[in-house]
Structure 1
């Protein structure tokens, strides 16, 4: 019996040691693939013959699919075990990456959009990694692992933007997606050794397909109205009908979720006082972040003949964004320690304040590359602090049986905020474009940076409503 006990303990220790790198790799793979197209969006537009606003949908398609898949994955993980859902998400990432790579070779923008949407289904990996972290990590290391996983949302995204430029310069745009296939395969290899997870005692209830459909329709209508409103005319019948449809679908979604036994989004979690402030701040900071990261590559790659911009290649754009990625990596562990001393709210507010400073700097100083290096470093620290604090704030406010659902709700709000930010930034820039070049004016970029800074300031204010989370439930 003693030998058996020692053997069991050794196996458990081995599983824990394997779990941490596997979970971090899985989160990194999804986050990298989410933003891998950002620095190359101008290239996709030129090579595929689509407008800059249309090219932005290569980012938005991922986010739309992620917004729907994330809460479903969180709920299914709580019900049936987190490892199964993790593996399913990584398989979706592999399949979408393969489809996108083949479509890119064929020059099919439609195929690329579909492949990106399939990739986006992998975002369900995020909430189940929190559930598996809670199961495998020792109590004294849980805070650090949660912070690291939460920070991966930002760090992986920054890495994706940085590596995209060199990859496109050396191998072409299709290799952005072959990389996703490689990362997904590596994470799948590690996932085989993870524990199955702790499913809830009751498995009653079917997946909320109606809720998923209504949520999809709501988000598509919202983002379609935002992205096409200028082209259609903001007061046109098409734009008004699209936004009206968004409101109707949204109302129907809420009504269905309130009456469904196992909803895609648990409205009770949205109303929980300990989570309301965190979720609001999450949406706002995500809008500001993704607005900024979609604007910077376009400015960088604008020809100098426009009177601004640097005429950079994608590789040079990656270098311009590099300080953001580096500082995100540096800020994440610092944020974890700071959160333990001062609380997650203070850490988040520090991040929001730094974001205001970095974006404000770009609004008034953007004529030299070093302006972007400096501001990018500040933004990297900002979003490293902000995103690293969110995971602990969320799971510290719920019971372990709700970890997947609560993390899923928060992640979907990050994704919705990011999709809104990307499309809003594209609309602001498009609104300033003037013939014959159809390039945005410099004042359009100033407006986009100022708007992003204002959003970050709102996130700081929203964080004042965040309540101190309880200790982690065991």
Structure 2
């Protein structure tokens, strides 16, 4: 941005004769809005966008038990209200990231906000499960705002502010998730459920207006590559098959023909997609870039951290809400459960500056490893404290602190290993890896709790030992994530606040890729 104003000043004071001979090519390809916000304002707006996106994911949780009645449908059909957002977001996130690299990240941020608004309005006006699923799918289209916002920071912020800002925006997802439960429960208990979606529409529209007025465009892509439509379809089809099998396998049966067929279809489609991406000159996801050790190990750790983060997010709410008569449930309402869990998400925001300082001093791989170890410690704390609300509060705060450290380090590691022209697509793919981890966690924890049950009032409920086993699995996976983080090969010069900038003189499909 400073460069844009310097060029403007030079043209202004050189005089008419001098201005005539200045070549037009010297004008930088930077689009600056009329009233750009200061760097702190830009970070605040993008963090607000992340909080709003995270809010969409927890918005319907208080309604899950009532959706079937509200929409006059079966419980299995109502579950698609959650599944639709997951599937659409998984497909849309890498696509929006690639388009952001091609046509500008601010432009794609605005494009991504539009379906958040429209989807929220559709949900607010829904009277059937079909329209509700459509609206939730549209909301899923907007989930790419966080990786796009992270990537835009690299273009518009000075290097010394980049690390702290990345950590802050990464933490915004936790804040949105933490505030979403009590907020949604309070609105659902005191007003019409439709008010939830009207509020979501208003917040999304506000995000779009703030981005339009105050957020600068940053660097726009100088090379308009061909969009890899075949790659987008292949990746989308493979992800839908994989995530559908993982998320619905417990309902359909893990050995059912449908589930096994989806797993087989995912394997075939993703293998074919990988072959296409390696042969296409301008791929949706540059797999050769993704195979660089720094990117590869960071994405592997991201899957594991996503798993370990989500395991406690599945266990703790159930423990808080199960009846006290079980001997281990705590009998809390939905509203109270959300309030007990909210401080955990806020810890992510509180610790984000510390994570940035640790990354600057020791490197982001150290921050990622430390965060993973902290997550594991949070699970270890949980084992003697499952029967106490204050104990579970401590567990969520420790685990969320570790998640905040780890999530803040991941984008820095990714951006330190990829060219500027691939920043958004690489961050979006990393976000997708975290989503895969959470989906696998939901499946694994679901199987554990379904197999380890106890009878209560004639109904099977997850047993206390089942919850303990789920927590121990989360702890073990977090330790594996820490081990993987130590394998990330980061040069000392790459570590601090500004990721190293690999050369961009070679084509995106360099290193031997041929169409």
What's 1:328 paired with?
348
Shift of 1:283: 0.8
Q: Distance in 1 between matches of 2:368 and 2:74?
A: 36
Q: Distance in 1 between matches of 2:329 and 2:461?
A: 11
What's 2:86 paired with?
63
Q: TM-score, normalising length from structure 1?
A: 0.90
What's 1:150 paired with?
170
Could you say if the C-alpha distance between residues 442 and 198 of structure 1 is closer, same or farther in structure 2, counting changes exceeding 3 Å? same
What's 2:224 paired with?
203
Q: Distance in 1 between matches of 2:386 and 2:163?
A: 38
Q: Distance in 1 between matches of 2:151 and 2:256?
A: 46
Q: Distance in 1 between matches of 2:145 and 2:153?
A: 12
1:112-151 alignment, distance < 5 Å = 112-151=132-171
Instruction: Work out which of the residue numbers 76, 84, 99 in structure 1 matches 2:99.
Output: 76
What's 1:161 paired with?
181
Instruction: Work out which of the residue numbers 5, 10, 14 in structure 1 matches 2:9.
Output: 5
Instruction: Work out which of the residue numbers 25, 35, 47 in structure 2 matches 1:24.
Output: 47
Shift of 1:390: 1.3
Q: How many aligned positions are there? A: 470
What's 2:404 paired with?
384
Gaps of 5+ in 2: 13-31, 502-515
What's 1:448 paired with?
470
Q: Distance in 2 between matches of 1:111 and 1:433?
A: 36
What's 1:241 paired with?
261
Relative contact order: is structure 1 or structure 2 higher (C-alpha 8 Å, sep ≥ 6)? Answer: 1
Q: Distance in 2 between matches of 1:326 and 1:465?
A: 30
Q: Answer yes or no: is 1:37 the counterpart of 2:60.
A: yes
Q: Distance in 2 between matches of 1:295 and 1:7?
A: 62
Shift of 1:18: 4.2
- My pick for the range that moved more, 58-67 or 272-281, is 58-67
Q: Secondary structure at the match of 1:235?
A: coil
Q: Is the contact made by 1:425 and 1:448 (CA closer than 8 Å) also made in structure 2?
A: yes
Q: Distance in 1 between matches of 2:453 and 2:71?
A: 21
Q: Secondary structure at the match of 1:439?
A: strand
Q: Answer yes or no: is 1:226 the counterpart of 2:246.
A: yes
Shift of 1:317: 0.8
Shift of 1:424: 3.1
Could you say if the C-alpha distance between residues 130 and 377 of structure 1 is closer, same or farther in structure 2, counting changes exceeding 3 Å? closer
What's 2:330 paired with?
310
Q: Distance in 1 between matches of 2:398 and 2:58?
A: 19
Q: Is the contact made by 2:243 and 2:436 (CA closer than 8 Å) also made in structure 1?
A: no
What's 2:125 paired with?
102
Q: Is the contact made by 2:50 and 2:146 (CA closer than 8 Å) also made in structure 1?
A: yes
Q: Is the contact made by 1:74 and 1:128 (CA closer than 8 Å) also made in structure 2?
A: yes
Q: Distance in 1 between matches of 2:445 and 2:9?
A: 58
Q: Distance in 2 between matches of 1:78 and 1:117?
A: 24
Instruction: Work out which of the residue numbers 254, 269, 277 in structure 1 matches 2:297.
Output: 277
Q: Answer yes or no: is 1:88 the counterpart of 2:111.
A: yes
More helix by share: 1
Instruction: Work out which of the residue numbers 454, 458, 462 in structure 1 matches 2:484.
Output: 462
- My pick for the range that moved more, 330-339 or 438-447, is 438-447
Could you say if the C-alpha distance between residues 203 and 432 of structure 1 is closer, same or farther in structure 2, counting changes exceeding 3 Å? same
Shift of 1:347: 1.3
Q: Distance in 1 between matches of 2:11 and 2:166?
A: 28
Could you say if the C-alpha distance between residues 34 and 227 of structure 1 is closer, same or farther in structure 2, counting changes exceeding 3 Å? closer
Q: Is the contact made by 1:35 and 1:59 (CA closer than 8 Å) also made in structure 2?
A: no
> What is the CA deviation profile of residues 108-136 of structure 1, one whole-angstrom value per residue up to 9, with x for unaligned ones?
34433332221111122122212321222
Shift of 1:354: 1.5
Q: Distance in 1 between matches of 2:477 and 2:189?
A: 34
Could you say if the C-alpha distance between residues 64 and 233 of structure 1 is closer, same or farther in structure 2, counting changes exceeding 3 Å? closer
Q: Distance in 2 between matches of 1:371 and 1:53?
A: 34
Q: Distance in 1 between matches of 2:6 and 2:434?
A: 48
Q: Is the contact made by 2:309 and 2:400 (CA closer than 8 Å) also made in structure 1?
A: no
Q: Is the contact made by 1:320 and 1:373 (CA closer than 8 Å) also made in structure 2?
A: yes
Could you say if the C-alpha distance between residues 334 and 241 of structure 1 is closer, same or farther in structure 2, counting changes exceeding 3 Å? same
Shift of 1:349: 1.6
Q: Is the contact made by 1:354 and 1:382 (CA closer than 8 Å) also made in structure 2?
A: yes
Q: Secondary structure at the match of 1:203?
A: coil
Q: Distance in 2 between matches of 1:281 and 1:220?
A: 22
What's 1:212 paired with?
232
What's 2:285 paired with?
265
Q: Answer yes or no: is 1:365 the counterpart of 2:385.
A: yes
Gaps of 5+ in 1: none
Q: Secondary structure at the match of 2:459?
A: coil
Could you say if the C-alpha distance between residues 155 and 240 of structure 1 is closer, same or farther in structure 2, counting changes exceeding 3 Å? same
Could you say if the C-alpha distance between residues 85 and 280 of structure 1 is closer, same or farther in structure 2, counting changes exceeding 3 Å? same
Shift of 1:42: 4.4
Could you say if the C-alpha distance between residues 60 and 348 of structure 1 is closer, same or farther in structure 2, counting changes exceeding 3 Å? farther
